[in-house]
């Protein structure tokens, strides 16, 4: 092969270095490489923030090179935006997998709140990344073209639940779907995102396993009481 014939391709010499070169080249999967980079970058950005995160560290942990990261994502900021797109996309996709439209309104609302609680409780990187991006004033996520369209799905889900609940005489008819999403997200997000300061102030860690079940039931109950039509 002549030198320069593949100049536009990423440098893959750092991938699977323990495997013989012909076999490594045959097995190289660019999509899997990108997924690996995004996974490690999610951890790096959530731990260090955009400013503190190091591309060198991400490249080393994924056994790739800075050149490859820039080939796929353009820049450190581009990689950070791709991480934001992925983490928001993950939660929205899992919400759709609940098939809430097939449940009755009350059980559907319960399922959505329980899922939101569980996701925030388990996916601490997501909570940290949202916090970090708010510090940046949503400067980077607003540049992600798919961001608004992808996140509107949860509003449509809530609108459908409210509409069906109203038709069944179960839910009040003056609840705004975006306001309700804010309520659910706030209750689930706060106990994880503010657990350190809350714990220091009151001597109780909201994310402690012993409190988890109680908080989960409390938040579900609060939301259902809020949307229910008064007798």
Q: Tens digit of pLDDT for each residue in 16-39?
A: 444 444 444 546 688 888 999 999
Please, what are the domains in the chain?
Answer: 12-74 (1.10.10.60), 84-227 (1.10.357.10)
Residue 228 is classified by DSSP as B
Q: What is the mean pLDDT of residues 135-149?
A: 94
Q: Which two tokens stand for residue 24?
A: 């490594």
Residue 19 has a pLDDT of 42
Q: What is the mean pLDDT of residues 80-102?
A: 95
Dist CA 59 CA 62 (whole Å): 5
Residue whose C-alpha is closest to residue 157's, from 121, 109, 89: 109
Backbone phi, then psi, for 171, in 5-degree steps? -110, 150
Q: Which residue has the higher pLDDT, 105 or 8?
A: 105
Residue 229 has a pLDDT of 93
Q: Name the band, by pLDDT with cuts 50, 70 and 90, for residue 1.
A: very low
Residue 117 has a pLDDT of 97
CA-based end-to-end distance of the chain = 79
Burial class (CB in 10 A: 0-12, 13-18, 19+), 108: buried
Dist CA 142 CA 67 (whole Å): 26
Q: Name the band, by pLDDT with cuts 50, 70 and 90, for residue 214.
A: very high
Q: Name the band, by pLDDT with cuts 50, 70 and 90, for residue 13.
A: very low
Q: What is the mean pLDDT of residues 62-70?
A: 92
- Count the Cβ atoms, other than its own, within 10 Å of residue 191: 23
């Amino acid at each position: 092969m002549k030198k320069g014939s593949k100049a536009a391709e990423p440098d893959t010499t750092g991938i699977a270095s323990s495997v013989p070169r012909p076999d490594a080249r045959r097995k190289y999967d660019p999509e899997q490489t990108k997924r690996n980079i995004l996974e490690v970058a999610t951890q790096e950005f959530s731990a260090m923030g955009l400013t503190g995160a190091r591309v060198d560290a991400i490249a080393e942990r994924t056994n790739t090179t800075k050149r490859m990261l820039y080939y796929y994502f353009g820049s450190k900021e581009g990689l950070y935006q791709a991480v934001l797109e992925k983490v928001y996309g993950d939660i929205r996709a899992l919400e759709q997998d609940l098939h809430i439209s097939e449940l009755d309104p009350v059980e559907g609302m319960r399922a959505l709140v329980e899922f939101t609680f569980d996701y925030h409780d388990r996916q601490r990187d997501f909570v940290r990344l949202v916090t970090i991006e708010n510090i940046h004033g949503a400067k980077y996520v607003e540049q992600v073209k798919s961001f608004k369209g992808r996140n509107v799905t949860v509003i449509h889900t809530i609108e459908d639940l409210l509409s069906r609940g109203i038709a069944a005489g179960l839910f009040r008819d003056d609840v705004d779907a975006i306001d309700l999403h804010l309520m659910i997200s706030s209750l689930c997000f706060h106990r994880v995102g503010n657990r350190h300061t809350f714990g220091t102030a009151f001597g109780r860690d909201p994310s402690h396993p012993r409190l988890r079940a109680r908080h989960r039931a409390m938040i579900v109950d609060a939301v259902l009481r809020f949307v229910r039509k008064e007798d």
